[in-house]
């Protein structure tokens, strides 16, 4: 059997009891390590933290392994119980859907154990989840690649009065272009997009458009390390959020649409300059 187990958003303790029971019965345990990360990161120390609680060795599954060598995981699952651990919820990334489809085509029994993900944890700010439109991803710009396909989706959401969740780029174990040209992979240092960078890129794209759907005065909500003990949630304009140091990753951003009075009441607790922000900053430091 192949267990796809959501780990939640904070640390190793956020796994559900059902998920923990499944992991403990498995012969092999993999953890996906490129679409998200737990609060302590995925290092040798982080893996040992997981292994101590779960009682099993944990194999790091990077993008290359999951997308190009999934047969190793599936082969093991044909003859034994295998757990594939995912930060957040198992279906927060399309890669995991692909793994499930491939397993089912091979006749492997798949059991999914859900957990919290960024898609519902953003509800902490008070913006109601059913008032969100299509989620977008903001990739890192390069000198030669500055995609703006997310702009039309934000425009569509805002025309409907809906909020937009922006997931920010994570680049872990990405081969450099130079190394690919040489035919021998060398990997760039890990990079995690900040809210500040995301807003800078969003405003750059907006300036090149004829019909502006947002600007530096547009209300947004910034989230850092959501689900963790030191999470930060701040509501303010794009310009205001750009001046805030949100600290360590992971970050995400919500561009607000039309708001209900109850949503406004909740957002007021997180406005820039509010006392609760200072308290969160003190705890995070």
The reply, when asked if residue 14 is annotated as ligand binding, is no
The reply, when asked if residue 27 is annotated as ligand binding, is no
| 67: Cβ contacts below 8 Å, ≥ 6 apart | 95
The reply, when asked if residue 169 is annotated as ligand binding, is no
**111 bridge partner residues:** 3
**119 bridge partner residues:** none
The reply, when asked if residue 114 is annotated as ligand binding, is no
Q: Are 166 and 196 in contact (CB under 8 A)?
A: no
CA distance 14 to 10: 6
The 10 Å Cβ neighbour count of residue 143 is 5
The reply, when asked if residue 251 is annotated as ligand binding, is yes
Nearest to 250 by CA among 37, 17, 7, 30: 37
First-to-final CA distance of the chain:
43
The reply, when asked if residue 168 is annotated as ligand binding, is yes
| 81: Cβ contacts below 8 Å, ≥ 6 apart | 1, 3, 25, 26, 27, 28
The reply, when asked if residue 89 is annotated as ligand binding, is yes
Residues forming the annotated binding site for S-adenosyl-L-methionine? 9, 89, 92, 117-118, 168, 251
Query: Which residues does the annotation place in the binding site?
Result: 9, 89, 92, 117-118, 168, 251
């Amino acid at each position: 059997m192949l267990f796809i187990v959501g780990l939640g958003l904070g640390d190793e303790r956020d796994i559900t009891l059902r998920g923990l029971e499944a992991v403990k019965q498995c012969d092999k345990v993999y953890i996906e390590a490129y679409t998200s990360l737990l609060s302590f990161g995925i290092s040798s120390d982080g893996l040992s933290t997981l292994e101590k609680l779960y009682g099993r060795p944990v194999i790091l599954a990077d993008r290359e392994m999951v997308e190009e060598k999934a047969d190793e995981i599936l082969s093991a699952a044909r003859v034994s119980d295998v757990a594939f651990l995912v930060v957040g919820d198992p279906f927060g990334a399309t890669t995991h859907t692909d793994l499930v489809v491939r397993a089912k085509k091979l006749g492997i029994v798949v059991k999914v154990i859900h957990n919290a993900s960024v898609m519902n944890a953003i509800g902490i700010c008070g913006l109601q989840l059913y008032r969100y439109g299509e989620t977008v991803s903001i990739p890192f710009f390069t000198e030669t690649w500055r995609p703006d396909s997310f702009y039309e989706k934000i425009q569509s959401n805002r025309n409907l009065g809906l909020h937009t969740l922006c997931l920010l780029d994570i680049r872990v174990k990405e081969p450099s272009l130079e190394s690919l040209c040489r035919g021998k992979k060398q990997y760039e240092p890990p990079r995690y997009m900040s809210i500040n960078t995301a807003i800078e890129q969003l405003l750059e794209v907006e300036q090149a458009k004829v019909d502006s759907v947002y600007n530096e005065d547009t209300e947004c909500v910034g989230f850092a390390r959501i689900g963790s003990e030191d999470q930060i949630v701040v509501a303010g304009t794009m310009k205001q959020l750009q001046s805030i140091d949100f600290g360590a990753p992971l970050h995400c951003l919500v561009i607000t649409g039309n708001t209900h009075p109850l949503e406004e009441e909740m957002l007021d607790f997180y406005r820039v300059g509010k006392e609760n922000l200072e308290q969160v900053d003190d705890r995070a430091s």
